[in-house]
Amino acid sequence: MNLPLQAWSALQAEYLKEAAQIWNSILDPKAQPLPLPDRRFAAPEWSGNRSAGFLAAMYLLNARTLLKMAESFEADEKTRQRIRFSVQQWIDASSPSNFLALNPEVQRRALETGGESIAQGLQHLLRDLKQGHMSQTDESQFEVGRNVATTEGSVVFENHLFQLIEYKPLTAEVYEHPLLIVPPCINKFYILDLQPENSLARYAVEQGLRVFMVSWRNADDSMGRLDWDDYVEDACIRAIQLVQEISGSPKLNTLGFCVGGTLLASALSVLAARGEKPASSVTLLTAFLDFRNTGVLDVFVDEAAVHLREMSIGAQSPAGGGLLRGQELAATFSFLRPNDLVWNYVVGNYLKGQTPPPFDLLYWNSDSTNLPGPMYCWYLRNAYLENKLKEPGALTVCGAPLDFGRIDAPAFIYGSREDHIVPWDGAYASVPLLSGDKRFVLGASGHIAGVINPPGKKKRSYWTNAALPAEAADWLAGATEHPGSWWPEWSAWLEPQAGRRVPAPKAPGSARHPPIEAAPGRYVKQKA
């Protein structure tokens, strides 16, 4: 691994030229303020102070140069990817905006408040240390079941892994084939039911669907030996059977989000191997079936890292299992976008003493969940490291060879264009693995904001293309952009798969599965 001499010489010359321009601009009293094209330095205190402006301009020059050096290294792609990631982390952490002694905006605020902002920042820091995570929003403004996860419904089943919620119909008639939603088990389900105006669950109910939601239990030490098969058999397959039984419909529409989509597809493959095909349709939202392009997350995955996990919290550990703590997982995802999800709050919360504004999505983001170690390690090795899930028969799940090709129901596959967790071409890679009629839709924005894009907001856009070429780039080249939310597109696609309309049930559950408690239930309120 090395930096070619020619590349080094060119970088050095470019750096010296730009550094001289910055220095000369500082020395010239008639010169315009230095351009600082970065929102961290947008406050007038940076451009209006020559010393601060010089510091910020040199930081940005150093950052650009370091990243160009990282890009120029001659090494295998995995090593280059890790170098880029590490350099970016160091660059973001070392920004002068992150330090009291170097940030003129913070200093001005401290002077104006007579030091009160510093005292408030220390209080925020102590509070966050006590609660075990950095506040990204004013968490005191939210409560699960009061102003998030508010769609009316009932818990109609629970076991050691999940509760099943049935939502109350909002229409006189419902489609005969109900909808089962499997959210990611690495987060709480209410990302799909934040508040009435941005709830995908409520939107589905308003369209006349009879909607059921899996609410995962937040894993504790009693669950430390559970593996992927347990989540497929005792949660996903069990939920499918329950919805069939409660609704009286042998067919149901299914939706899986993120790893919930991977679990759902695994369950439907297992059922197909058993001769059962309950899915009238399959919707996969920002989900991997083929893990060939996992984006920036790939920097964390290699044989040594996976083996270490297996020996510490996996089935090979001395205890035969353990837990992946939710805070560790949340911190990993935050550092994938450190300026937005880490350093922004260091400056705002601790240096400026500000309380972050209330934001339901960030409240959900901080409500982390634990995972059983063996389940997580199986997923890490077979999906992220070895990418075996896509290979028919390469893995056995619940006693059946895994083959997504057995899933021949109509499929709606969604990806988000700026997704850094499931790159959209990684979501598109699911297309050739499924056997039924397929539709791929691409939304704007990222992993969460792209999915949670209600029509009423009239925000963003989405792309469609009836053709499904082998390469994702070719699909996008022929796609048509539409303004607004993709939700109505999905709803219109789902309608033919939902069957005829029948009278809405007068009560939730069934004689065998009566309501246990009101939604959202106890499991979603358990803290990691």
Q: How far is residue 209's CA from residue 196's CA, in Å, rounded to a whole number? A: 16
Q: Which pairing describes strands 411-416 and 279-285: parallel, antiparallel, or unpaired?
A: parallel
C-beta separation of 155 from 167 below 8 A: no
> Which amino acid makes up residue 116?
E
Active-site residue, selected from the candidate residues 185, 236, 258, 377: 258
C-alpha 165: how far from chain center = 22
C-beta separation of 306 from 377 below 8 A: yes
Nearest to 490 by CA among 259, 260, 290, 253: 253
List CB contacts of 419: < 8 A, sequence separation 6 or more: 286, 295, 427, 446, 447, 450
Q: Assess whether 185 carries a catalytic annotation.
A: no
CA distances (Å), 99 to each of 35, 92, 94, 103, in order? 21, 12, 9, 6
Q: How far is residue 16's CA from residue 65's CA, in Å, rounded to a whole number? A: 11
Q: How far is residue 12's CA from residue 98's CA, in Å, rounded to a whole number? A: 27
Strands across the sheet containing 252-257: 480-483, 461-464, 438-443, 411-416, 279-285, 252-257, 179-182, 211-216, 162-167, 153-158, 517-518
State yes or no: cis peptide before 423, omega within 30 of 0.
no
**Helix or strand or coil: residue 306?**
helix
Enter the tokens of residue 49: 């102070």
Q: Which secondary structure element, helix H or strand E, spans residue 462, and what is its range?
A: strand 461-464
Number of H helices, E strands in the chain: 19, 17
Q: What is the 3-state secondary structure (H, E, C) of 497-512?
A: HCCCEEECCCCCCCCC
Q: Report helix angle 77-93 to 50-72, nearest 10.
A: 170
Q: Which pairing describes strands 371-372 and 501-503: parallel, antiparallel, or unpaired?
A: unpaired
Q: How far is residue 512's CA from residue 73's CA, in Å, rounded to a whole number? A: 64
Enter the tokens of residue 430: 């699911």
C-beta separation of 55 from 19 below 8 A: no
Enter the tokens of residue 229: 């098969």
> Which amino acid makes up residue 449?
A
Q: Which pairing describes strands 211-216 and 252-257: parallel, antiparallel, or unpaired?
A: unpaired
C-beta separation of 409 from 391 below 8 A: no
Active-site amino acid positions: 258
